[in-house]
Structure 1
Amino acid sequence: MTDTAPLLDPARVRELFDLRGSYMARMGGGYEGDPYPLWGRLREQAPVHEGALHDLSDFPGDYFFQGLPEPDRPHYTAFGYAACNDIYRDAELFASNADAIDLTQASPNNTLLNMGGQQHRRYRALVQPRFAPKQVEWWIRKSIDEIVHALVDHVQDRGRAELNVDFCAAIPLLTITGAFGIPVAQALDLRAANDPMQTIQIIAPLVAARREEPGDDLLTVLVQAELTEEDGTVHRLSDPEIYSFCMLLLAAGSGTTWKQMGITLTALLQRPEALAAVRADRALLRPAIEEALRWQPTDPCFARFVTRDTEFHGVPVPRGAVMHINLGAANRDPARFERPDEFDIHRPPRPMLSFGGGPHICLGMHVARAEMLVGIGALLDRLPGLRLDPDAEAPRYVGFYERGATAIPVLFDS
């Protein structure tokens, strides 16, 4: 893995991992403001408002995200912590998908993210053990540690780097593709795939190979998994079922942690006193990551579909409506957190909603935390004097339904 970094074309990484580029435009990548002051005012007015989040935020457009665009449905958005938490806790009233999942077809929509009830529990149980906290060491040993240090090796003698491209984007992408046994040379092809058939063309021969010769990877877990149906019959997953699993895990694994790692690094680099505290006491790195997750989550909104007419936190909501969960606003609710708009690595720990909640709480959250802990820890260990480049444009937070940092140019003592 020592040649990992050179194999990832920096220009292509920059194209595929730029929130402001065409690849991310349909998620609101062109938004460059700070939405939190407005979200705070809306939260103060009421915990739930009628309207989709982008419309309520004066950012009109046709966006694609969970629960969007759905132009024929009424839309509502929850801003308060209690309201958002209630949505996650009531999976019967707030369903994860409007329609039944057809598992005979491989589709990015036919995934755990959109399943509900017993179907979700049975399919999630197939891969849950590999993502459990006790399995984090497997992920670190399997790929995270080697990838992180290979990337640092590649920049260590330069004295400068752009951490979004040279570091943050590569770690989760190569971690999840490596866990599937996908060659490094195909990692960016999977990121670039905008059609399910493109992904399947890469995955299909690997699935066939694992059926013939199992390995120590996630594809083998899926190929060998046995699913017990409600009538008691047991069967192995079909190819379409495996492909759908892969599409979800590959997209989630490569598409979120890089942004959150960049957000965390930016928050620390822009606060030298916090960075110095973490460097001096590495036990502060974990709470710093948790605070960044609360203060600026990379995916500040998800959605659910309302299954019956209801009154929710004082607002009548009809059956079939889309209820958007603005967890970004919820994580800054002063009823839940003191001084919520401040980034404070010494903040006492308290549960938040950055990884969701209820039965759909993020499957990969422990792996994501491990990637950030190992990655940021290695930067502090091996790049002395790490600091923002004062002669370069300072990083900013951009994006709407997916938020992250712009380029993170740094200097260090080589």
Structure 2
Amino acid sequence: MTTTHLLDRDRVRRLFDLRSSYNAIAGGDYTDDPYPAWRRLREQAPVHEGTVHELTGYQGQASFHGLPEPDRPHFSTFSFAVCDEAYRNEELFSSSTSLGLEGDVGVGASLLTMGGNRHRRYRALVQPSFVPAKAKWWISRYIEETVQLLIDSFVDDGRAELNVDFCAAIPVLTITSSFGVPVEEALDIREALHQPAKVIQHLAPIVAARREQPQDDLISILVEAEVTDEDGVRHRLTDAEIYTFAVLLLLAGSGTTWKQMGITLTALLTRPEVLAAVREDRSLLRPAIEEAVRWTPTDPMFSRWVTEDVDFHGVHLPRGSVLHLCIGAANRDPARWDRPDEFDLHRPMKRSLGFGGGPHICLGMHVARAEMAVGIGALLDRLPNLRLDPDAAPPRLIGMYERGATEIPVLFG
């Protein structure tokens, strides 16, 4: 990898600040705490008619997974048990309105929108690269170097802004590096994720080169992968299928982990005694990350499409309607956790829905955990007396369908 000074910091801020116009579509201008409203909704009924943002009181036209789709009936649920049930019942609650169209490129034709056997076959192609045992490969080849270079850029300053200048850069550089994309092109790809043709311009020469001479990277894995179709015939992935995998991994890898890392750092830095405990005993870093994923998941809602008429927890859901799973509220369900609104480092660990659930549970969750653990651990190793800057505004958690921190200004030394 070359040096991270090739990243344009102003451009990083525009792409990764939730308040920017680039992120406004998902409700980046929402600055209230949604959890009191979600608690009331969860207490009132298992399933409500309406979308999560409408029921929360957000007046904007936020778009996200399953939204806006104005011609469909919309329903939302806020409890752990009901969200978990919907995640597990793939036949009744589909991950999309269709299985994707062959030849399409983008999230609409990706693993997110596949179901049944097709989803299992395609997921199996890349799953081995994202299992826990593979985390060392990611750390040694991509994550560790990225983290250390970023810290090198501010370690002598005595101060830094960690959310955008650190957290946001780690995942996008990790994923693009694993594709063989030069650092100077990383932000071009991130900005073009909703314009697949532009992404292809960057990836096409890499895919062609890996077909000629594979290397130890993700594009090579996709180039050499074989999938068995419905007729039992094995074939290599087409270029379009490789591009679609790449877009999904880039979108997920560079769009969620940075926000979750910022949320975790905010939870620690605003609780100095907890931060001190983690610094002293690094075995507490993993529970801190898991608790942050439970306490405030960065994407607090995902949707499922109802495949047939059904009476579901007292509400009739017509075929073709959308059921929104508010996993943010589900992760604070008192039926599953004591004192769920508290960030508790020593909470007995239980499975949350922060990484989703069912067949579509987050493919890259182990890589995300590794990025957060390596990143936060390196900050604690290299920045003595790390603390919030008392003269700057403290970080706040904002956003509707993409939750994250504002600036995280810190001092150290």
Q: TM-score band, normalised by the shorter chain?
A: over 0.9
- The answer to whether the 8 A contact 1:81-1:327 is kept is yes
Counterpart residue number, 1:97: 96
Matched, 1:250 2:244: no
- The answer to whether the 8 A contact 2:143-2:371 is kept is yes
Counterpart residue number, 1:332: 332
What SS is found at the alignment partner of 1:76? strand
Letter in 2 for 1:376: I
Counterpart residue number, 2:183: 184
Letter in 1 for 2:178: A
What is the alpha-carbon root mean square deviation over aligned residues? Answer: 0.9
The correspondence of residues 17-28 of structure 1 with structure 2, limited to 5 A, is 17-28=16-27
Counterpart residue number, 2:262: 262
Letter in 1 for 2:11: R
Q: Distance in 1 between matches of 2:210 and 2:82?
A: 45
Q: Distance in 2 between matches of 1:269 and 1:219?
A: 37
Counterpart residue number, 2:46: 47
Q: Distance in 2 between matches of 1:222 and 1:60?
A: 42
- The sequence identity of aligned pairs, in percent, is 66
Structure 1: gaps spanning 5 or more residues: none
The correspondence of residues 120-199 of structure 1 with structure 2, limited to 5 A, is 120-193=119-192, 194-199=194-199
Q: Distance in 2 between matches of 1:313 and 1:141?
A: 48
Aligned residues: 412
- The answer to whether the 8 A contact 1:144-1:374 is kept is yes
Q: Distance in 1 between matches of 2:30 and 2:385?
A: 32
Q: Distance in 2 between matches of 1:380 and 1:37?
A: 33
- The answer to whether the 8 A contact 2:99-2:109 is kept is no
Q: Distance in 1 between matches of 2:239 and 2:346?
A: 48
Letter in 2 for 1:64: S
Letter in 1 for 2:87: Y
What SS is found at the alignment partner of 2:410? strand
**CA positional deviation for 1:64:** 2.0
Q: Distance in 1 between matches of 2:228 and 2:190?
A: 32
The correspondence of residues 27-106 of structure 1 with structure 2, limited to 5 A, is 27-106=26-105
- The answer to whether the 8 A contact 2:4-2:183 is kept is no
Could you list the per-position Cα deviations for residues 260-299 of structure 1 after superposition, in whole angstroms to 9, with x for gaps in the alignment?
0000001100000100111111111100010100000000
Letter in 1 for 2:153: H
Counterpart residue number, 1:378: 378
Q: Distance in 1 between matches of 2:6 and 2:412?
A: 23
- The answer to whether the 8 A contact 1:75-1:322 is kept is yes
Structure 2: gaps spanning 5 or more residues: none
Counterpart residue number, 1:345: 345
Could you list the per-position Cα deviations for residues 314-341 of structure 1 after superposition, in whole angstroms to 9, with x for gaps in the alignment?
1111111100000000000000000000
The correspondence of residues 216-227 of structure 1 with structure 2, limited to 5 A, is 216-227=216-227
Q: Distance in 2 between matches of 1:158 and 1:4?
A: 18
Q: Distance in 2 between matches of 1:101 and 1:212?
A: 29
Q: Distance in 2 between matches of 1:147 and 1:206?
A: 21
Letter in 2 for 1:173: V
Runs ≥4 residues deviating over 4 A: none
**CA positional deviation for 1:344:** 0.7
What SS is found at the alignment partner of 1:283? helix
- The answer to whether the 8 A contact 1:127-1:222 is kept is yes
Q: Distance in 2 between matches of 1:38 and 1:105?
A: 39
Q: Distance in 2 between matches of 1:359 and 1:100?
A: 15
**CA positional deviation for 1:61:** 2.8
**CA positional deviation for 1:165:** 2.1
What SS is found at the alignment partner of 1:19? coil
- The answer to whether the 8 A contact 2:6-2:183 is kept is yes
Matched, 1:278 2:278: yes
What SS is found at the alignment partner of 1:49? strand
**CA positional deviation for 1:4:** 2.8
Letter in 1 for 2:394: A
Counterpart residue number, 1:365: 365
TM-score (norm 2): 0.98
- The answer to whether the 8 A contact 1:108-1:196 is kept is no
Counterpart residue number, 1:294: 294
- The answer to whether the 8 A contact 1:5-1:166 is kept is no
Q: Distance in 2 between matches of 1:60 and 1:33?
A: 12
**CA positional deviation for 1:5:** 2.6
Could you list the per-position Cα deviations for residues 88-133 of structure 1 after superposition, in whole angstroms to 9, with x for gaps in the alignment?
1100000011123112222331100111001100100000000011
- The answer to whether the 8 A contact 1:177-1:187 is kept is yes
Counterpart residue number, 2:322: 322
What SS is found at the alignment partner of 1:235? strand
- The answer to whether the 8 A contact 2:306-2:318 is kept is yes
